[in-house]
């Protein structure tokens, strides 16, 4: 996998196979996108691409036969939990799913470290989603098995960012040189936090479009500035839509608001409709981590630029790659 049409910017995107065959990812936690280099990304995406072809041809394999995944979700999830479950099953492994923590001992007051210690007695890898920033890092401190962060509050969602990047590559064929516009709740959206950090490894321009109250956090913008990423902020999509190569739409994160009236006031800030898209490039990719709650009209779904359903499928292959890699089997 190479990242750029002009590979000048990414001289070593394709590394010799052997560099990674020493089990670079084996036993590692996946906590933040900051842990990945360009070389790591190239390798993960090569493995994901291989799995994509195998799944399409054969459907299932036995690479992870005998391996068990535990999924522990303290917050709701459809895509992340089911794609990880499908990923381990398509690789021949099995799953212990805990998605209703209120029916587990968590509701009796069990601590996160103890719940992790329990699950790692039965499983080889744990996927964790939690409402607190830093929960995955805390779990990793106590765990002997790999922890995969599936979202920690408003912090990060690294596996989503990896699948988002994989989607951009599949849809646009490159990363360098693109103008990426992130729209919606940039303050509370963990997917945009991780994706912006990951994009800082590339030569991209990022536009942030959000209501004033929901801007991208200042520390994140400074981090990207230090890395030389061109960034610009707007409250209206109109001035940047025409130049945009990837429009990454997010929902206003209702569950993060203390005052429900503020959510009500902001929830319909942006709605992407076919009319809005009239000013966009014909090859622009429209992405969304989903779920959507009205910010992309269903009338957009048949537009060839709408990549958000394909994005979900790419997520399966990326998560298969991550499981195989941390278990040392890719």
Residues that bind ligand NCD (CB under 6 A): 79-80, 151, 157, 160, 190-191, 250-251, 289-290
> Given the complex with ligand NCD, which of 194 and 200 has the nearer CB atom?
194
User: Pairing state of beta strands 68-73 and 94-98?
Assistant: parallel
Nearest residue to the partner ligand NCD, using Cβ: 289
User: What is the smallest separation between the CB atom of 26 and ligand NCD, expressed in angstroms?
Assistant: 25
Q: By C-beta, is 191 or 200 nearer to ligand NCD?
A: 191
**What's the min distance (Å) between Cβ of 186 and ligand NCD?**
12
Residue 143 vs 150, nearer CB to ligand NCD: 150
Buried b (16+ CB within 10 A) or exposed e, 51-71: bbebbeeeeeeebbeebbbbb
Closest CA to 123 of 138, 106, 144: 144
* CB of residue 103 to ligand NCD, shortest distance in Å: 21
Minimum Å gap between C-beta 191 and ligand NCD is 5
Length of the chain (residues): 330
**Whose Cβ is closer to ligand NCD: residue 151's or residue 158's?**
151
Residue 240: phi and psi, rounded to 5, are -110, -10
8-state DSSP, 120: H
Cα-Cα end-to-end distance for the chain: 16
- For ligand NCD, the closer of residues 93 and 151 by Cβ is 151
Question: What's the burial of 108, exposed, middle or buried (CB within 10 Å: 0-12/13-18/19+)?
Answer: exposed
Min CB(20)–ligand NCD separation in Å: 27
């Amino acid at each position: 996998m190479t990242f750029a049409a002009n590979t000048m910017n990414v001289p070593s995107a394709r590394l010799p196979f052997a560099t990674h065959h020493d089990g670079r990812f084996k036993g590692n936690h996946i906590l933040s996108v900051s842990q990945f280099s360009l070389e790591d990304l190239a390798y993960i995406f090569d493995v994901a691409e291989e799995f994509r072809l195998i799944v399409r041809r054969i459907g299932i394999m036995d690479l992870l036969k005998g391996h068990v995944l535990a999924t522990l979700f303290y917050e709701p999830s459809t895509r992340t939990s089911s794609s990880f479950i499908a990923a381990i099953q398509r690789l021949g492994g099995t799953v212990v799913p805990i998605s209703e923590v209120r029916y587990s001992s968590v509701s009796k007051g069990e601590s996160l470290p103890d719940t992790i210690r329990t699950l790692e007695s039965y499983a080889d890898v744990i996927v964790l989603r939690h409402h607190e920033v830093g929960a995955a890092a805390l779990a990793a401190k106590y765990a002997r098995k790999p922890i995969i962060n599936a979202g920690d509050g408003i912090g990060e969602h690294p596996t989503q960012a990896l699948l988002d990047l994989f989607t951009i590559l599949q849809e646009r064929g490159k990363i360098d040189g693109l103008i990426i516009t992130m729209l919606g709740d940039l303050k509370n959206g963990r997917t945009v936090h991780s994706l912006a950090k990951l994009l800082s490894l590339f030569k991209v321009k990022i536009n942030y479009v959000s209501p004033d109250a929901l801007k991208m956090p200042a520390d994140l913008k400074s981090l990207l500035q230090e890395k030389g990423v061109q960034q610009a902020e707007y409250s209206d999509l109109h001035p940047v839509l025409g130049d945009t190569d990837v429009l990454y739409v997010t929902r206003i994160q209702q569950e993060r608001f203390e005052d429900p009236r503020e959510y009500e006031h902001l929830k319909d800030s942006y709605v992407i409709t076919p009319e809005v898209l009239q000013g966009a490039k014909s090859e622009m990719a429209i992405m969304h981590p989903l779920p959507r709650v009205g910010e992309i009209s269903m009338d957009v779904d048949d537009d060839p630029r709408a990549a958000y359903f394909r994005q979900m499928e790419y997520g399966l292959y990326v998560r298969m790659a991550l499981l195989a890699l941390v278990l040392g089997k890719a």
